[in-house]
Amino acid sequence: MAIIGYLIRRILTGAVVVWLVATLAFFLFFARPVITVARQLAGRAATPQVINEVISNLGLNQPIMTQYWHFLDGLLHGNLGYSYFTQESVDTMVKQDLPPTLSLVVGGVVLWLIVGLSVGIISATRARGPFDRVANVLVLIGLSMPTFVIGEFLILVIFVPLNQHGFTWIDTGYSGPSQGLVKWAGHMLLPWITLAAVQCAIYTRLTRGQLLDTLSEDYIRTARAKGLSERRVVFRHGVRAALTPVVSQLGVDVGTLLGGVVITEYVFGLGGLGQVSVQAVFQDNLPVIIGFVILAALFVVVANIVVDFLYASLDPRVRIT
């Protein structure tokens, strides 16, 4: 039952963190003059009366604590507010824009873990061999490439030439899985590679370093000495111990991952949460920006709880209390 108590405690602290982020975001964004928003909404030629009307329509003329109270009240009822421009509920927008983001994150993470871990393991077991050398060079290039440059590069080198020759399976924009899985994969392939590339490099390097350290430990020699197969030594004894720092890195990297999501969606015009929030930034559409920041915080908190459980199940020395 200790696990359930731990889980409850983690969820409570997580809720506090989300509340802190929400409050911070709220006051940060409302601490500046509301008139700029109103002026943009009302149009360039608006009279002061029209601007005042817009302000009172949006409820921006109320005392800031009242506004904050409304905001918190809405938040507790799962209501993130309404877009300044379309009056659309932010909740609806989130529901609409979640599928592309979810497709991107799930596919990207799977790709990055598979490639990053397997290349790292092969590199470590054949350290200083040709495979390891090539992998090292690629890792350094991957580490130095900004996500958006990788995206642009893939568009320039793969998407544009293929499209010019009438091969349209690989495409930009988003197409849901309901319109055909093959089509969906074609649309998502380049974004997945883009999102995974930088992370692959980090995880390859981390896995390789950890596994090399682990494989030089005494208990690995013992395992070899008692005649276990090399495969069993590497995977059952080596990788398992080497993975714990990699998993804890996973928790730290969730934030970086979200940044990568924003950029990837923007580059490929996927239209997910990231792209919508960048648009909201250009429009001064505060409720949408705050909604996205809160969702991001929620995601980070949940991911960290999952990672901690994973960590405990991998490393028998770590006890959940």
Q: From 5-13, 119-127, 277-285, 308-316, give the range in contact with another protein by CB under 8 A.
A: 277-285
DSSP 159: I
**Smallest separation (angstroms) from another protein to the CB of 98:** 16
Between residues 33 and 48, which has the closer beta carbon with respect to another protein? 33
Q: From 57-65, 107-115, 238-246, 278-286, give the range in contact with another protein by CB under 8 A.
A: 278-286
Tell me the Ramachandran region of residue 295: left when phi exceeds 0, alpha when psi lies from -120 to 50, beta otherwise. Answer: alpha
Distances (CA, A) of 294 to 21, 75, 90, 258, 308: 7, 10, 12, 12, 21
Is residue 134 involved in binding another protein (CB under 8 A)?
no
Start-end of H helices in 147-272: 147-154, 160-164, 181-215, 218-225, 230-232, 240-268
H-run or E-run covering 26: helix 2-30
**Smallest separation (angstroms) from another protein to the CB of 189:** 18
H-run or E-run covering 27: helix 2-30
**Which value, to the nearest 10 degrees, does the dihedral of the CA atoms of residues 310, 313, 317, 318 take?**
40
Is residue 281 involved in binding another protein (CB under 8 A)?
yes
Out of 234, 292, 311, 312, name the contact with another protein by CB under 8 A.
Answer: 292
Is residue 162 involved in binding another protein (CB under 8 A)?
no
Between residues 28 and 182, which has the closer beta carbon with respect to another protein? 28
Kindly state the tokens that stand for 128: 């200083």
Out of 148, 185, 228, 247, name the contact with another protein by CB under 8 A.
Answer: 148
Distance CA 77, CA 182 (A): 38
**Smallest separation (angstroms) from another protein to the CB of 240:** 25
Nearest residue to 241 (alpha-carbon basis) of 121, 97, 86: 121
Contact positions with another protein (CB under 8 A) in 231-270: 251-252, 254-256, 258-260, 262-263, 266
194 within 8 A of 154, measured Cβ to Cβ: yes
Out of 51, 241, 243, 289, name the contact with another protein by CB under 8 A.
Answer: 289
Count interface residues toward another protein (CB under 8 A): 43
Task: By CB under 8 A, name the binding residues for another protein.
Answer: 25, 28-29, 32, 140-141, 143-149, 152-153, 155-156, 160, 164, 251-252, 254-256, 258-260, 262-263, 266, 277-278, 281-282, 284, 289, 292-293, 296-297, 299-300, 304
